[in-house]
């Protein structure tokens, strides 16, 4: 069997923290794996492999691999690609028969890749290969994600119809409405030309629908630094576009799926907050009431509040942010998270009092509606601060 024909992985779409096998070890530059998803690209494949190999041989000889993931194209793209492997030892081919679709093709390629930097480029030469260098430079500077963008300086589209421009911009605006915290970080969220650090996406199981793999990566990955490089989207050299209306429907489905899964954490956080209210009330009663311990009110409140904080912390640590906690095991790490959580709760209390006073004294709200509004705002702040500080991903195993 040809050594360059790799089989497609199955099961969960999860990128391993380190490659299963490491044939060539590259300490610097870190090894780069570039995926080319293909479907009926027989007319382009030879050309693009030649251009990419020449370019990368100059820039990072011996430190890259190219993986074509073909969905059993009727025009035998995979076979042509396989024939090229004798001239290009860094080229590998995956012929998928059990699964289809652009986004999953890219992820399957990354799953078997050996690189620390994982990239994707279209095989139809619409993505100018020379931009790869600039993207790699951004990764070298420390970016977690480097995206080739049509919507920044140096970027553009060559000959798109007004309808296609309108649909592309419309899709972006829709993305901004449904998923603002993700889409607003990217000038060109529809780009299919980018690279990402393995460690930034190995933290999550990916679950894309359809074409837009970048949105999946930006939404689910652990990505702090995004860099962008302008590029002009060229006309197809050969073959036909696979874009149909189905892709637009899948895009909306994808956005909604991401919205739900991102909001799920906030809903969990809110539910845990409610259990905290119950703990606080019950202990306030037990500690301060004459039939209980009969302690002074302030002391009782401080103890009850602290118990509620510990209750909330334990639930959040196991449940709301359980996936992150499991990656930072050990008592010391847990204590660190508890300390930060406590401090943020204290800050939350100060903010709560501040908001309450502003709403009542300046805006003339009633005491109770002002308190409800203040609690809602503080919950959002608390959630955000905890996500960014207490359960921040600090260590990648
Ligand atoms: N493996 C795999 N690759 C695909 C699939 N659909 C598209 N591709 C590849 O993904 C890349 C982008 O697809 P295109 O159809 O060119 O999409 P596009 O560039 O957004 O649209 P055009 O400008 O119309 O070409 C190309 O390399 C395609 O061969 C698929 O279902 N499976
Ligand atoms: Mg194309």
Q: Which of 136, 133, 157 is nearest to 146 (CA)?
A: 136
- Are 104 and 13 in contact by the 8 Å Cβ rule? The answer is yes
260 Cβ neighbours under 8 A, 6+ residues apart: none
Residue, of 279 and 70, whose pLDDT is higher: 70
Nearest ligand to the CA of 193 is 1
Q: Name the DSSP class of 14.
A: B
The listed range with the strongest mean pLDDT (17-21, 24-28, 90-94) is 90-94
What's the full length of the chain, in residues?
Answer: 397
pLDDT at 84: 97
Percent of the chain's residues with pLDDT above 70: 97
Question: pLDDT tens across 312-326, in order?
Answer: 999 999 999 898 888
On the question of pLDDT at 394 being above 50, the answer is: no
- Are 265 and 320 in contact by the 8 Å Cβ rule? The answer is yes
- Are 46 and 125 in contact by the 8 Å Cβ rule? The answer is no
- Give the pLDDT mean for 123-143: 96
pLDDT at 47: 97
pLDDT at 1: 55
Question: pLDDT tens across 248-273, in order?
Answer: 999 999 999 999 988 888 899 999 99
Tell how strand 194-197 and strand 117-120 pair up: antiparallel
On the question of pLDDT at 114 being above 90, the answer is: yes
Ligand 1 pocket list (CB less than 6 A): 37-39, 41, 69-71, 100-102, 105, 122-124, 126, 192, 236, 241-243
Calculate the average pLDDT of the chain: 90
- Are 41 and 126 in contact by the 8 Å Cβ rule? The answer is no
Which CATH topology does 5-243 take? Spore Coat Polysaccharide Biosynthesis Protein SpsA; Chain A (3.90.550)
Rounded distance between C-alpha atoms, residue 308 and residue 322, angstroms: 19
Q: Which of 372, 334, 331 is nearest to 352 (CA)?
A: 372
The full set of domain ranges for the chain reads: 5-243, 262-390
Q: By alpha-carbon position, which residue is closest to atom 28 of ligand 1?
A: 38
pLDDT at 3: 72
Nearest ligand to the CA of 102 is 1
Question: Which pTM value belongs to this model?
Answer: 0.79
Give the nearest ligand 1 atom to 190 CA.
Answer: 20
Rounded distance between C-alpha atoms, residue 97 and residue 112, angstroms: 16
Query: Residue 397: pLDDT band by 50, 70, 90 thresholds?
Result: very low
Rounded distance between C-alpha atoms, residue 190 and residue 210, angstroms: 12
């Amino acid at each position: 069997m040809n050594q360059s024909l790799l089989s497609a992985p199955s099961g969960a779409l999860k990128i391993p923290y380190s490659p299963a096998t490491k044939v060539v070890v590259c300490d610097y530059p870190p090894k780069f794996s570039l995926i080319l998803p293909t479907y009926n690209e027989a007319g382009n494949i030879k050309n693009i492999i030649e251009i990419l190999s020449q370019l990368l041989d100059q820039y990072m000889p011996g430190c890259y691999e190219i993986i074509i993931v073909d969905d059993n194209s009727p025009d035998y793209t995979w076979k042509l690609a396989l024939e090229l492997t004798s001239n290009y030892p860094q080229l590998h081919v995956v012929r998928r028969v059990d699964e289809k679709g652009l986004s999953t093709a890219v992820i399957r390629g990354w799953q078997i890749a050996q690189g620390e930097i994982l990239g994707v480029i279209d095989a139809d030469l619409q993505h100018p290969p020379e931009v790869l260098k600039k993207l790699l430079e951004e990764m070298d500077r420390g970016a977690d994600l480097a995206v080739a963008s049509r919507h920044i300086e140096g970027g553009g589209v060559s000959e798109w119809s007004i309808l296609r421009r309108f649909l592309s911009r419309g899709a972006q605006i829709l993305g901004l409405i449904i998923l603002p915290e993700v889409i607003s970080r990217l000038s060109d969220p529809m780009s299919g030309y980018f690279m990402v650090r393995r460690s930034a996406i190995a933290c999550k199981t990916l679950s894309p629908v359809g074409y837009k793999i970048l949105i999946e990566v930006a939404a689910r990955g652990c990505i702090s630094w995004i860099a962008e490089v302008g590029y002009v989207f060229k006309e197809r050299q050969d073959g036909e576009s696979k874009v149909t209306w189905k892709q637009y429907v899948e895009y909306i489905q994808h956005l909604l799926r991401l919205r739900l899964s991102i909001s799920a954490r906030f809903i969990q956080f809110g539910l845990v907050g409610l259990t905290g209210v119950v703990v606080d009330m019950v202990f306030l009663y037990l500690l301060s009431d004459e039939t209980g311990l009969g302690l002074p009110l302030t002391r009782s409140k401080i103890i009850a509040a602290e118990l509620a904080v510990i209750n909330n912390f334990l639930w959040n640590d196991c449940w709301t942010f359980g996936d992150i906690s499991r990656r930072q095991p050990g008592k010391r790490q847990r204590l660190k998270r508890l300390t930060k959580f406590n401090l943020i709760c204290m800050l939350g209390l100060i903010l709560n009092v501040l908001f309450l006073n502003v709403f009542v004294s300046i805006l003339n709200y009633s005491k109770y509606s002002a308190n409800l509004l203040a609690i809602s705002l503080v919950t959002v702040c608390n959630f955000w601060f905890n996500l960014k500080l207490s359960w921040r991903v600090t260590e990648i195993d």
